Structure 1
Amino acid sequence: MEVQELLITNAVVRSVDDDDSVHGAVLIESGSIAAVGSEANLRLKASNQAAVFDAGGRTVVPGFIDAHNHMSFAAFAPVTVNCMTPPLASMDEVLEVIRAHCSNLVRGQWASGFGFDMSKIREKRTPSRYELDEVSPNNPFFLVDVSGHAGYANTAALEAAGITQCTPDPWGGGVERDGHGLATGTLMGTTAGLLNSISWEDYAERDWDHAVELLESKAKQYLAVGLTGVGDACVTAKGAELYRRADEAGRLPLTMQQIHGGDFLFDRQDLGNHAVLERIHRKGTRMLRGGAMKVFVDRAYPDSGAIHQIHDGCVKHVGTNFYNPREVRDIALRATGLGIDLVVHAMGNCAIDIILDAYEAVRETFGRQPVLRLEHAFVAETRQATRMAELDIDLVANPGLAHNVGDLFSGWRGENQNHLKVIPVRSMIDAGVRVSFASDHPAGTFSPAEIMWTAVARRHLTGVSIEPEEAVTAAEALRAFTIHAAQASGRDSEEGSLEKGKRANFLVLDRDPLTCTTDDLRRLQVDRTYVDGRLAHQRAE
């Protein structure tokens, strides 16, 4: 039976409003926040029919919002091969788990793996197409690199995608070849994105009902760590179909912002494609929204994000760009003119400057109203923070990735590049930039507690500190996962803080993230998750 009125008492209610006010109770009516305040005052406001939950002194906060996640892809992890390195430590171990998985598949069915990082295995290399042929002889197989920007295909997968000696490198992509011009199996950029999407779509279209089950199961995992809202940072046409089916079946238990990509991962945006525009502008529902578009400016493999290093006083460009500056500016202006919110991916300082120039043109033409987002900023300059703040750009950062791959970003920066910082969220906040935290899952953990801990501790898995001067406070981390993430998603009028009239998306935590120790922050547990005032998750005692 649905509870129409609920009073939470004996709590530390951190509203995360403009004043960071703290209260003792919160009253929910018909799925919305009716009031926050003292327990005595709210008991007077509540009706005799109100259900009462005694929080036992625990902390209540708004639901966490992961504004940059790849839920539609991550949901399929149970039917793909877990090639995470670690715990896998050698090429033989990686190949063996692939063999075990593919031996049970129907001949011809696509298979894929995820989580592989060649820098974390003993051999420090990628698998060849022929090694993958041996462990997947009857099925097209594609292993997605941990970066998401590369992958490794067997011969059947290459043939299914039409990649031969005669195939040129497509826009934004690459096919690694040996001395005879044959593909080695390593694919980059849009080529990797195409194979990733083909393998995903093959499974989804064979069994849409099971695909919806997988999506709902993933959403329940998110609810268990306190996520009540997610932004899927590259929704393809088939991804949008999956979300539509789940929403219509009542199996999307958290709020979802679709950030639309092209026909496949990393695909070039074509604003003349009416199907894409129709998908972006499709009317939203209470749980499912659209209206935003993803643009990738730089890629991560085989070199790095687009970065400007300085050597002997001269600027050296490293990394690979998807677009030139004029193209980014034209896309930004045209998209904004079509009423589309922009979410632009930039990992290096060169890519960031390109986006800032484009966004300055958008502000000059359309004013301050449009939501303009910049994703990642893994290797950035502190000077860029001031300009971002002036242009009112939301930075959606991924400090949680510092724990697993902070050493990779440090390598991208290079030696003696003092103008560059790795994930400089402290510098951004101090300059006045509104910063949100997000997971980029499956590239990293989706646990907000883990991500907030990394943002505060700045510790790599080896124990080495990753630019500790860029650490944030726990209070800043909480805002970055709640109200700031809601603002970046264009939903701050309805979620992200505990204020009268907003949706009752909130959490009951086992400890106070603002007063516990840094190490305890990592161990934070979500005892209860509420979405629209309904109990969506309860931790087993």
Structure 2
Amino acid sequence: MPFTPADLVIENVSVITMDRQFPFANGVAVVNGKIAALLTNNEQKWPIKPGGMRVNGEGMTLLPGLIDAHCHLRAQTSMNLAVPCSRNKINSIEEIILAIREHAKRLPTGTWIRATGYDPFFLTENRHPNRWDLDKAAPNHPVRLRHITRHASVLNSAALALSGIGPNSSDPPGMRVDRDPKTGKPTGIVYGGDTWLSQYVIPPITASELQNGANHLLNGLLKKGITAVQDATPTNTLDDLEFWAARIQQDNWPISIQMMANEHNHMPMARHLAEELPAGISKRLEMGSLKVVLEALPELYPSIQELSRIAVEATGRNVPIAVHVVDPEMVWAATEAIRSARERHPKNNIRHRLEHLSLCPEAFLPEISALGIIVVTNPSLIYDHGDRYLIDVDPLEHEWLYRMNSLLSENITLAAGSDAPVATFDPWIGMKTACTRTSFSGRTIGPAEKLNRWQALEMYTTGAALAGGWKKVRGMIHPGYQADLILLDQNPLTCTLEALSSINVHAAWSAGNLVYHR
């Protein structure tokens, strides 16, 4: 049977296919953006179309493009435009004040100032900044300073006034306002309420600012071998959908994007994508799960009843839900809601997701497995925030932190996301951390949850593909799959563990098109 001439042949490479049935090969042939065949030896010469490309991989390693199963594109883009207050930039509240003050000098009075990334654990004062600290920095500008986790913010007096938060105000939905116990006056620290602030108080970043930030982000993602992302931002709107559609149309953005949204925005966005945007957009932009963020303030929000309603209705529409769960009560609520959805729609086989699963007792694992729930974990959070977890989390619960190996032992599908910008989007740091379970300072967290190299790679390839409903689409080098490919200078299965986090991507292809070259 004659071979179909290829548009692209990559030969003389060590191919790691991520297919357990046929894990290795020596080259690939690509036709019309998809894998046509695997080459089984270096002597095999696949025919090329006129104008096609034959690439000599020079013995390097070829992998399927990596997938970030949980990130926040707008937040990562806007973080690059905000005043950076992370530990590698700032060591004290005084330095935060100085950084914001310098930024304020360049802005007209009344302009919102966005600052982000502070972590009290790494500040000299070992406390949150407050409204009075930020007032020193910018008394004539409203300021919002976001915690590194994005689940807390600090507002100065001008920002509190614009938010309508005062001594006698009620806390907005999903938010707990920290107050002076004697006077009831807000300290400026608010827990939760990220959606409320973004939708009703703080004006969005301009499209031109976002576009510049997106171009910067694109190069950073491709440089690390990421060819597809699942944007887990609950506050995504039609504007975000239009923005990323424009990047695909105008800038030929090559990374596939799957967008989540909350209950109110998911259906209008899905309808707009299907009916209003050009058909070709759907090859690189699609709607993913319906995102639900659970908060404990101190009661669960939304309630178990409301969460169950959301799960049942979404399942009825064949839409998976992705539930943010960070403590045992949230895990229980999410599994109960998904159980309700399964009972109401027993013939619907969509797979729902738990995002983070930060603290999970072992007793929950059989139920998660039985319900076919996919867990999207975040090894980068162990690296970036593990030192704080070891202090903030009860020592008896350390073994519950970001389980990995125990999930696989219960046959639970496991995917990995960066949660960027809360943690680094570098997947190689994530893989190394999954194998070593070590924090930034080198402390070990939950050593029983270590993975081997193959398992760590699966989280960013086949596991992440399953989490996005991309089975038989991407995540594997296999005939018929999209030719998203990355060429590496080292083999992640055989290099030293230390070298795993510093692997270099020499080239990346999206649907067979070269989109990055080092």
TM-score, normalised relative to structure 1: 0.88
Q: Which moved more, 1:363-372 or 1:52-61?
A: 363-372
- SS of match in other structure, 1:384: helix
Of 280, 295, 302, which aligns to 1:298? 295
**SS of residue matched to 1:75:** helix
Question: Which amino acid in 2 is paired with 1:474?
Answer: R
Take 1:108 and 1:241, find their aligned partners in 2: how far apart are those partners? Answer: 29
Between the aligned partners of 2:230 and 2:53, the Cα distance in structure 1 is 32
Q: How far has the Cα of 1:446 moved from its partner?
A: 0.2
Letter in 2 for 1:399: P
Q: Which residues in structure 2 correspond to 1:484-495 (within 5 Å)?
A: 484-495=463-474
1:258 aligns with 2:255: no
Query: What root-mean-square deviation, in Å, do the aligned CA atoms of Structure 1 and Structure 2 show?
Result: 2.2
Match of 2:185, as an amino acid? L
Once structures 1 and 2 are overlaid, which stretch shifts more, 116-125 or 160-169?
A: 160-169
Matched residue, 2:400? 421
Q: After superposition, where does 1:37-48 map in structure 2 within 5 Å?
A: 37-39=39-41, 43-47=45-49
Q: Which residue is equivalent to 1:221?
A: 220
Whole-angstrom distance in 1 between the partners of 2:506 and 2:472: 26
Please name the residue that 1:444 is paired with.
423
Number of aligned pairs?
503
Shift of 1:201: 4.1
The answer to whether the 8 Å contact 2:384/2:424 transfers is no
Unpaired segments ≥5 residues, structure 1: 262-268, 302-318
Q: 1:43-97: CA deviations, max 9, x gaps? A: 2444465311111111100111001001111101232101002442111112111
SS at 1:515's partner residue?
A: coil
CA contact 2:8–2:31 (8 Å) conserved in 1: yes
| 2:241 maps to 1:240 | yes
Distance 1:201 1:353 in 2: 36
Aligned residue identity for 2:291: K
**Partner of 1:186 in structure 2?**
189
Q: Give the CA deviation at 1:408.
A: 3.6
In the TM superposition, 1:3-402 aligns within 5 A as 5-39=7-41, 43-47=45-49, 49-178=51-180, 179-190=182-193, 192-196=194-198, 201-204=203-206, 208-234=207-233, 235-237=235-237, 238-261=239-262, 269-270=263-264, 276-281=266-271, 282-283=273-274, 285-298=282-295, 321-366=300-345, 367=347, 369-402=349-382
Q: Deviations over 1:82-119 (max 9, x none)?
A: 10024421111121111111211122221111110011
Per mean C-alpha deviation after superposition, the further-off stretch among 115-124 and 42-51 is 42-51
What SS does the corresponding residue of 1:236 show, helix, strand or coil? coil
Instruction: Describe the SS at the equivalent of 1:184.
Output: strand
What CA deviation, in whole Å up to 9, does each residue of 1:375-412 have, x standing for no partner? 10111122322222221111000011111212443445
The 1:122–1:514 alpha-carbon spacing in structure 2 relative to 1, beyond 3 Å, is same
Distance 2:397 2:216 in 1: 44
**Code of the aligned partner of 1:151:** S
| Residue 355 of structure 1, CA deviation | 1.2
CA contact (8 A) 1:212 1:251 kept: no
Instruction: Compare 526-535 and 441-450 and name the one that shifted more.
Output: 526-535
C-alpha distance in structure 1 between counterparts of 2:329 and 2:380, whole Å: 23
The answer as to whether partners of 1:81 and 1:113 remain within 8 angstroms in 2 is yes
Letter in 1 for 2:498: D
Q: CA deviation at 1:131?
A: 1.7
Over 3 Å counting, the alpha-carbon distance change for 1:40 and 1:414 in structure 2 is closer
Call closer, same or farther: CA 1:445–1:383 in 2, change over 3 Å.
same
Alpha carbons of 1:42 and 1:392: their partners in 2 closer, same or farther (altered >3 Å)? farther
- Distance in 2 (alpha carbons) for counterparts of 1:166 and 1:276: 35
Indicate the residue corresponding to 1:456 in structure 2: 435
Secondary structure of 2:302's counterpart equals coil
Is there any run of 5+ residues in structure 2 with no aligned partner, and where?
275-280
> Structure 1's 519 and 200: CA in aligned 2 closer, same or farther, altered over 3 A?
farther
The Cα of 1:124 is off from its aligned counterpart by 0.8
Q: Match of 1:305? A: none
Counterpart in the other structure of 2:277: none
Distance 1:24 1:152 in 2: 54
Shift of 1:40: 5.5
Q: How high is the TM-score relative to the length of structure 2? A: 0.92
Instruction: Name the CA distance, whole Å, in 2 between partners of 1:376 and 1:44.
Output: 44
Aligned mates of 1:32, 1:289 — CA distance in 2: 19
Q: CA deviation at 1:139?
A: 1.9
Q: Structure 1: how far apart are the matches of 2:154 and 2:6? A: 52
Letter in 2 for 1:373: R
